[in-house]
């Protein structure tokens, strides 16, 4: 069970892990860093910029993983690259496809850790929900990931690597020389940082990965097609506007500090008033139109008409849309989903106050891919072993 009184700490997992000596992985390096490592391995400084552009395009625009295929580089240079570097992305361990077409991938990263990635096809878009941490330091009461301790932050390569892996699986890399999207709408057109973890507690890596996703010579997604969801790490919000500039979603979920303290414990550090203050500046600072307020509908906890009215009062003046999320169940969850007519009534009040209030249709529920249901399979397995032991009187 989640201990909602546990202190909020940001685990210091950013200390670089000692990696075994070996070739450097180029995936996830910023353009500057890539330039640096190329020069360090003998690329003449004068050529470095051009080489960065060439390699960058092969890797991020055309999905090439083998230096030998980079045909605009000399054979000798390709051989040199292959000696010193690798192009590696996380390994897909399994894939489940839901009856509604949602795909859930289990992905293994260095150290044998696992994260989940979800692809949600819709008529006009395809959204990839990616993870930024293994587990989470926070313990939101309704969230399955929150029951798993933070294991570590993902590297920038592991974050952008999830996008590359999904494009592999969707078969969506353009032919060399072509741009993405030339043959109709993209299958993977949007990214949401709404998988496992709190992206703003892994800021630098998330920023570097999203810069690659937004780069016109990289994965080339518009910053308006990338949405970062935070539980409310206030000091990082202005930085997100400045350094990433993507769309922002905030896990709001309650209209009084008393209730939000329980549901989203980070509220005890940065309360509703402080959070709203930081959000007021975001759309202007990031040049994005509006903020998405996520609101999980929990029966008899946060779903009254009064809550709906308080919500619209609170966000007055902030360009916003309110995304109502019917609570998704997971084993042992301490909440229930609000009744459907309650959700509609709530949505109606918000809508009449002038805000879009879409109700998020749960996707991929049959494969536990819906919001808040993600958790590493390894962790699940461990837990069930513990349960088995307990049941057998061994625990
Ligand atoms: N840590 C970030 C991003 C991951 S959670 C954050 O909290 O914003 C992505 C969204 O799913 C958040 O709005 C979160 O509150 C919501 N969520 C978590 N558990 C859920 C559940 N069981 N049912 C529905 N939504 C849930
Ligand atoms: Fe972490 Fe977000 Fe889940 Fe809260 S809702 S525990 S911040 S992943």
Report the pLDDT value the prediction gives residue 395, as an integer from 0 to 100.
29
22-86 sits in which CATH class?
A: mainly alpha
pLDDT at 388: 37
The answer, yes or no, to whether any atom of ligand 2 lies below 6 A from the CB of 143, is yes
Query: What pLDDT band is residue 379 in, cutting at 50, 70 and 90?
Result: low
Distance between start and end Cα atoms, the chain: 16
Helix (H, G, I), strand (E, B) or coil at 193: strand
CATH class of the domain at 89-391: alpha beta
pTM: 0.89
Structure tokens at 219: 């994965």
Q: What pLDDT, in 10s, does the model give residues 2-16?
A: 344 444 444 444 444
d(C-alpha 44, C-alpha 29), whole Å:
19
CA 31 – ligand 2 centroid, Å: 31
Contact (CB, 8 A) for 369 and 363: yes
Residues marked as binding for [4Fe-4S] cluster? Answer: 136, 140, 143
Contact 41, 26 (CB under 8 A): no
Asked if pLDDT for residue 21 goes beyond 80, the answer is: no
Domain edges within the chain? 22-86, 89-391
Q: What is the CA(70)–ligand 1 centre distance, in A? A: 41
Q: What is residue 349's predicted lDDT score, i.e. its pLDDT?
A: 97
Does 116 qualify as catalytic in the annotation? Answer: yes
Mutate to test the pocket of ligand 2, among 8, 138, 262 (most ligand atoms within 8 A of CB): 138
Closest CA to 315 of 240, 226, 254: 254
Ordered DSSP codes for 32-85:
HHHHHHHHHTT--HHHHHHHHHHHHIIIIIS----GGG-TTS-HHHHHHHHHHE
- Mean pLDDT throughout 248-257? 98
DSSP class of residue 202 equals S
89 three-class SS? coil
């Amino acid at each position: 069970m989640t201990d909602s009184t546990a202190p909020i700490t940001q685990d210091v997992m950013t200390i670089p892990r000692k990696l075994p000596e070996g070739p450097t992985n180029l995936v996830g390096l910023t353009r500057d860093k890539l330039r640096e490592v190329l020069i360090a391995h003998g690329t003449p400084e004068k050529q470095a910029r051009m080489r960065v552009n060439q390699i960058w395009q092969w890797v991020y625009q055309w999905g090439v993983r083998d230096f030998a295929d980079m045909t605009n580089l000399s054979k000798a240079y390709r051989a040199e690259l292959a000696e010193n570097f690798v192009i590696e992305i996380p390994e897909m361990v399994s894939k489940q496809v839901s009856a509604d077409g949602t795909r859930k991938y289990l992905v293994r990263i260095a150290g044998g850790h696992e994260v989940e990635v979800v692809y949600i096809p819709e008529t006009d878009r395809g959204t990839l929900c990616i993870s930024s941490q293994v587990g989470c330091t926070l313990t939101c009461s309704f969230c399955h990931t929150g029951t798993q301790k933070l294991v570590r932050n993902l590297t920038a390569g592991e974050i952008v690597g999830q996008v590359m892996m999904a494009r592999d699986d969707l078969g969506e890399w353009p032919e060399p020389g072509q741009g993405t999207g030339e043959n109709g709408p993209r299958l993977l057109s949007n990214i949401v940082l709404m998988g496992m973890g709190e992206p703003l507690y892994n800021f630098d890596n998330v920023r570097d990965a999203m810069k690659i996703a937004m780069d016109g010579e990289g994965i080339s997604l518009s910053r308006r097609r990338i949405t970062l969801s935070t539980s409310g790490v206030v000091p990082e919000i202005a930085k997100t506007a400045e350094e990433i500039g993507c769309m922002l979603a905030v896990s709001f979920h309650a209209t009084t500090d008393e209730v939000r303290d329980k549901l989203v414990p980070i509220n005890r550090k940065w309360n509703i008033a402080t959070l709203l203050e930081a959000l007021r500046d975001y759309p202007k600072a990031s040049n994005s139109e509006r903020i998405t307020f996520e609101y999980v509908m929990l029966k008899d906890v946060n779903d009254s008409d009064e809550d709906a009215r308080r919500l619209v009062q609170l966000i007055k003046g902030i360009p916003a849309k309110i995304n109502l999320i019917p609570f998704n169940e997971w084993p042992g969850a301490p909440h229930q989903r609000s009744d459907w007519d309650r959700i509609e009534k709530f949505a109606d009040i918000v809508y009449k106050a002038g805000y879009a209030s879409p109700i998020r249709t749960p996707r991929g529920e049959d494969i536990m891919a819906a919001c808040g249901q993600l958790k590493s399979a390894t962790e699940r397995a461990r837990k069930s072993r513990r349960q088995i032991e307990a049941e057998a009187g061994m625990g």
